[in-house]
Structure 1
Amino acid sequence: MSLADSPAPPGMPTRGRPRSEAVERAVIEGVLKLLEDGVPLAELSIERIARTAGVGKATIYRRWSGKEELFVDVVRAAEPSDAELPGTSMRDDLVALLEQLRQRGVATRSSALLHNVFAQMKSSPKVWAAYHASVVRPRRRLQIEILRRGQENGELRADVDIDLLNDLIIGPMLVRTVMRPEVDAEIDLSEGLSERIVDTLLEGLRPVDGPRSVTSSTA
């Protein structure tokens, strides 16, 4: 899926210039080609990207304010699409979010290029800050919203620290996808991991009189 097909992250301003899917795809593929050729992220210039993509520098600047914003779009285009939440329960929405992270981890491990891009991005403070602002922060807001809604619906104890719980839920998946990249993905990121993480944590966090909502039939 091209980034041009994806909606802007919640809270992020949309660009005034009408989007051109063909132009954006050409630019993003131009960046990926340069990375595949071994050009380090830090050495990619807008001029070189424009030449590779067959567009003018002004065309790129009309769509991206600079390299940092462009690189974030390149990473987003290479990642699996954001999760579509079923909305049937807090549990099901959390599983969907974790599954997106698991799929991203599998994709990163199976793609040397994507793994290399992530590694380089984290070593560039400006690029990492841009990625955090446009991707990580909106995803965290969504996670917190799901947990608060579950608390209001009686699926979660009222005394639970939502911010801490969010870290407890997301943390195990991040450990397996980011902190342990050398482990066999087929074992460490096997199917069903998302459900196991969510169900293990929620088992001890539901109200003592039981949840008022029905969990997924596949639980």
Structure 2
Amino acid sequence: MMHSESMATAYTTVDGDFVHELEIKRSRFITYLRRVESEEQARGLIAELRKSHFDARHHCSAFILGADRMAMRSNDDGEPSGTAGIPMLDALAKRETAPGVTDLSDIVAVVVRYFGGILLGAGGLVRAYSDSVSSALDTAPLLRRQRMRILGVDADYVAAGKLENDLRAGGIQVLGTDYGPRLATLRVALNDENDAIEQFKDRLATLSAGSSTAENLGTEWVDVR
């Protein structure tokens, strides 16, 4: 997802889809987390779960979008106002992904509740929905997204494979290789800082004996695993 208007340089999201279940006073709270890049995708998961869990009483949701987390939405779906969606959103928004860092985004959480016959009360519902999302996040796989400088590195077909291996061995993230009619172009992601780019160009000159050059292809958001 491109966030060209963003001031943020990195954020954290969930790595794919994740499901976690809690039982609280006989009610089942099933939390679904999904990485999404638009409100349409977030609402898509909600619609999917309404169909697959058509017999559940509630499908409460919260999502955060964008590197700067400009879009935040929540829905109580029939639970008393403020007892489900907002606690879920708080659990996402206040989640620390590193000490003192709250940057979780491009994520939707849906909690499907099967009522167990015991009323929890407003305070109990707030805790249940908050704990459901927090517990899911405790074990969900997360990944960093970073805005990086992309460089295109040309090499002949014979040298491209070895050059890619050498760059990876040196800790450089190679996104892939495009094969043109005459040359291969390696797409390399670097920290968007002048020093990092200059160091890379020096290393490239050494590895390729000066035969390869790097072209600036702009910036994009990259998964850092």
TM-score by length of structure 1 reads 0.28
Write 1 or 2 for the structure with the bigger share of helix. 1
User: Normalization by structure 2: what TM-score?
Assistant: 0.27
Structure number with the higher strand fraction is 2
